[in-house]
Amino acid sequence: MTALIGAPRDRADGRAKITGTARYSAENDFPGLVYAALVLSDIPAGRVHAIETAQAAKLPGVLKIYTHENAPKAKQQKKEGEVIWRNLALLQDDEVRYDRQPVALVVADTYERAIDAASRVRVTYVKTDAATDFAKADTYIPPETNKGPEVKERGDADAAFASAPVKIDRIYTTPQEHHNPMEPHATVALWKGDDLTVYDATQGVFPTRARLAYTFDLPVEQVHVISPYIGGGFGCKGSVWPHTALAAMAARDLGRPVKLALERPQMFGSVGYRPLTHQRLALGADPSGKLISTIHEVKNNTSMFDLFVEPSTAITRMLYAVPNLRYKQEVARLNFGTPTFMRAPGESSGSFALESAMDELAYEVGVDPLALRLLNYAETDPDEGTPYSSKSLRECYRAAAERFGWSKRSSAPRSMHEGRELIGWGMATSSYPTNRSMAAAYVRIAADGSVIAATGTQELGTGSYTVYAQVAAEALGISPDRVRFELGDTTLPQGPVSGGSQTAASVSPAVRAAALDARDQVLAFASADPKSPLFGATPGGVTVTDGRFALTSDPSKGATYAEILARHPAAAIEGRAEAKPDPEIKKQYAMHAFGVQFAEVRIDADTGMIRVTRMVGAFASGRILNEKLAHSQYIGGMTWAIGMALHEATRTDPRNGRVMNANLSEYLVPVNADVPALEAILIPEEDPYVNPLGVKGIGEIGIVGGAAAIANAVFHATGKRVRDLPIGPDKLV
């Protein structure tokens, strides 16, 4: 039987999505369903003085208006020790901490009536001074968080930098960015007694269950979270936000199902974003470009009431061999909502600074940018001193450079052109850590040989339904068409949050182990059955191909799953398994995926208009579960890199912290015309340590380094170094 893992199979859920039968959270309907709409603050700091609800409450169909004066009690503070939980604005007090904070909730019998009534609620405030200027904000180094210490040094980075023959000392900045998945956040909540069921657009059904149980002081067994499809998340749906808890609060109080779906402008409020970063990146090197010292100091904004550290120094700590390194992470409290994880949090923003600085160093010493990276190649993790579980970065460099034609590059800035167009080539390294969490799964084989496999993971559009069916099918020796995969439900075995590129690396081993358990149970029954042609067979003496067990010594003797289970007293055989990382192996090896990106830009010499015309990336991410879906993930990340480099920026009014482009007309993201034919090369890689299948996550590495590659290409084309994203004509002309 041909290997199923890695095969470029079409999406198992593709037909459901294109025919509209895939049901997303906001599409769930129930008898008696009512609709909620948020009323948001229009000041960044102060207190609610009064809320006038009488006019809105008299409108037809309005059921109730919740404010801090009448909202049911709920726990809005983070649980002790749970550092990734957000403090939520749940109408528990009159304090306003950021613009667009929920200050009231209107529930009506139709969506239109709820929206209309919410627009008629009048709120007056007592304003206080607000901190909205990142440049003027006080900063501090936060205490140690779940990401480790925020200040660390190896060697003496400052002394080494001071004595280095060649120095690059620059400031790089990245703006606030908002996720903007196609599907906005939405929740449908309903209660049956003290049992809560929530249909939620979430990247983690089990973390959502835990947070709601805590918020409403319930045992987790009384909370049921369902999310079979998600229309994109990119990190913003990895946490529980106020709207989810408020929908559940109203549903409990009213005794009716409540739907709360955010409008697009509300996606720029209480559901997170990538924070601003101000990064000092200092490189000290010898005349050949060999690194002697690296200093990376990062400041990002957080909210007044919560802590979020954007770990932009993470990639600097491990990517290049440098004996002296110091990094520092600081935060600035502003009257904005709390930032959150956004695709490749830390690595995406940090790689822009690091890889831009490496490009500047290459020009300073007169070395090809790719040669400079090879000169400083890290054979072992320089931060921890441990070997890599696998590292195929040299192969990535070679394959992508050859495909791109890097050897034909003219090194001098502004030396490549065609007519009035300036042509620039740039490159940058990509890397992302290989993360893994505990996951459990079951695989149930029915009497007819069909299979249901399940775990409580999520489908964000990445292909979860497809790849895990492939994993189960290969372990069972059957066609994936015989496997139906179920996910997105807390009644299923526990799976991790879909974030940190960890889902495939966590869930696949559990699915495989559960499938092998089920297969072994079937064989054990056949082996113990005197009437079976497999009587007395041992696991080592049997092969399974196309759903048929056969003796290795005599393939004519065998039986299918259906033939074996026809004699089994139970209706089905079920295998269960749990898989989790080995902490000892994690201590022994550094685990990362690696890659490289090359970019070509063409810039109008008169207007400064920039077009990305080519990108080639090569990535080594362990064993690939599905070549087609992996390629889609990689080029999706590369598209994000185009947006990060040239388009995306959340613009806020410094007077009041108001987002001024809270829509997809003015918050620019790449569209088809902005995206060239992207090429992603999949470098084969075996890794026996990351997990039993050798799978590394791929969801985020595609964006890492991409913005820097484009920025470096812009410099090569124009001779102007832009260190402040996004890059536009205004920064070139």
Q: How confident is the model at residue 363 (pLDDT cuts 50, 70, 90)?
A: very high
Statement: residue 146 has pLDDT above 60: no
* Residue-level pLDDT at 571: 87
Tokens of 409: 């590059």
Report the residue count for the chain: 733
In percent, the amount of the chain with pLDDT more than 90 equals: 96
List residues with catalytic annotation. Answer: 700
Domains of the chain (ranges; CATH) run 25-129+182-232+237-268 (3.30.365.10), 277-435+586-731 (3.30.365.10), 438-580 (3.30.365.10)
CA distance 585 to 721: 43
pLDDT(8) > 60: yes
At 144 the pLDDT is 64
CB 617 within 8 A of CB 702: yes
How far, in Å, CA of 414 to CA of 55, rounded?
65
86 has pLDDT over 90: no
Q: Region 162-190: what's the mean pLDDT?
A: 98
As a whole number, mean pLDDT of residues 566-575 equals 94
DSSP conformation class of 723: -
pLDDT tens track for 208-251: 999 999 999 999 999 999 999 999 999 999 999 999 999 999 99
Burial 355-390 (b: 16+ CB within 10 A, else e): bbbbbbbbbbbebbbbebbebbebeebbbeeeebbb
Average pLDDT value for the chain: 96
Rounded CA gap, 672 and 485, in Å? 32
Specify the pTM. Answer: 0.97
The pLDDT value recorded for residue 666 is 97
Contacts of 530 (CB under 8 A, 6+ apart): none
Contacts 24+ apart (CB under 8 A), 604-608: 604/420, 604/421, 604/422, 605/417, 605/420, 605/421, 605/422, 606/420, 607/729, 607/733, 608/728, 608/729, 608/730, 608/731, 608/732, 608/733
Q: What is the pLDDT of residues 450-471, one digit of tens each?
A: 999 999 999 999 999 999 999 9
What is the DSSP secondary structure assignment for residue 165, as one 8-state letter?
A: S
31: exposed, middle or buried (C-beta count within 10 Å: 0-12, 13-18, 19+)?
exposed
Q: What is the mean pLDDT of residues 15-44?
A: 97
Q: Give the model confidence (pLDDT) of 282-292 as tens digits.
A: 999 999 999 99
Instruction: Enter the tokens of residue 707.
Output: 């913005």
Distance in angstroms (rounded) separating the CA atoms of residues 449 and 549: 12
Q: What is the 3-state secondary structure (H, E, C) of 470-486?
A: HHHHHHHCCCHHHEEEE
C-alpha span between 223 and 241 (Å, rounded): 17
Average pLDDT for residues 156-176, to the nearest whole number? 98
Query: How far is residue 458's CA from residue 497's CA, in Å, rounded to a whole number?
Result: 8
pLDDT in tens, 593-634: 999 999 999 999 999 999 999 999 999 999 999 999 999 999
Inter-residue contact 353 to 278 (CB < 8 Å): no
Rounded CA separation 719/242 (Å): 47
Strands (E), 664-722: 678-682
195: confidence class by pLDDT, cuts 50, 70, 90:
very high
DSSP 182-238: SS--EEEEEEETTEEEEEE--S-HHHHHHHHHHHTT--GGGEEEE-S--S--TTTTS
Distance of CA 137 to the CA centre of its chain: 29
Distance CA 490, CA 220 (A): 10
Dihedrals phi, psi of 637, to nearest 5 degrees: -65, -40
User: Where do the DSSP E strands lie in 420-494?
Assistant: 421-433, 439-446, 451-454, 483-486
Distance in angstroms (rounded) separating the CA atoms of residues 508 and 558: 29
Q: How far apart are CA 52 and CA 128, in angstroms?
A: 21
Question: Distance between CA atoms of 658 and 43, rounded to whole angstroms?
Answer: 8
Residue corresponding to tokens 């067990």:
549
Instruction: Show the tokens assigned to 153.
Output: 């040094």
Query: Is a pLDDT exceeding 70 seen at residue 84?
Result: no
**C-alpha to C-alpha distances, 25 to 437, 463, 492, 566, nearest whole angstrom:** 26, 18, 18, 39
Of the candidates 276, 309, 334, 267, which has an alpha carbon nearest to the alpha carbon of residue 97?
334
Mapped onto helix, strand or coil, the DSSP state of residue 512 is: helix
| pLDDT for res 148 | 62
In this prediction, residue 79 has a pLDDT band, given cuts at 50, 70 and 90, of: low
Cα(633)–Cα(604) distance, integer angstroms: 31
Q: How far is CA 669 from the centre of its chain?
A: 17
pLDDT tens digits, residue range 672-710? 999 999 999 999 999 999 999 999 999 999 999 999 999
**For residues 556 and 515, is the Cβ–Cβ distance under 8 A?**
no
391-401: average pLDDT: 98
Segment 521-550, tens digit of pLDDT: 999 999 999 999 999 999 999 999 999 999
pLDDT at 143: 77
Residues with Cβ within 8 Å of 185's Cβ and at least 6 positions away in sequence, in order, are 201, 236, 237, 241, 243, 244, 261, 262, 267, 271
Give yes or no for residue 35 having a pLDDT over 70. yes
